[in-house]
Amino acid sequence: MRLRLGIDGHELAYRFGVSTSTVSSIWVTWLAFLDNTLRQGPTWTPPHLCDKCRPQAFIDKGYTTADGIGDCTEIIFETP
């Protein structure tokens, strides 16, 4: 909610009837959780291994230097 609406901790504290320090604590906890979770994602494979495992369809289309595909996934949070 803080990111999507672009509001600060004081506004969130007012909206949910909690203290600003509670909002800050929750914010820091979520950031640490996301950092830990997303950091465990896949690492890049060395280019020489990508060359050996590249799909034939990529080679046929001329994507001979493609080493990865980015996926921008949205994470939806449910609010009370």
What does the pLDDT read at residue 51? Answer: 86
Token couple for 3: 């990111």
- The counts of H helices and E strands in the chain are 5, 0
Q: Where are the beta strands (DSSP E) in the chain?
A: none
Residues 6+ apart with CB under 8 A from 47: 67
Tens-of-pLDDT digits for all 80 residues of the chain?
666 677 888 998 999 999 999 999 999 999 999 888 888 777 778 888 888 888 899 889 998 888 777 777 887 777 66
Domain positions in the chain = 2-61
Given this model, what pLDDT does residue 41 score?
A: 72
Q: Please report the pLDDT score of residue 24 as a whole number.
A: 92
The pTM (predicted TM-score) of the whole model is 0.48
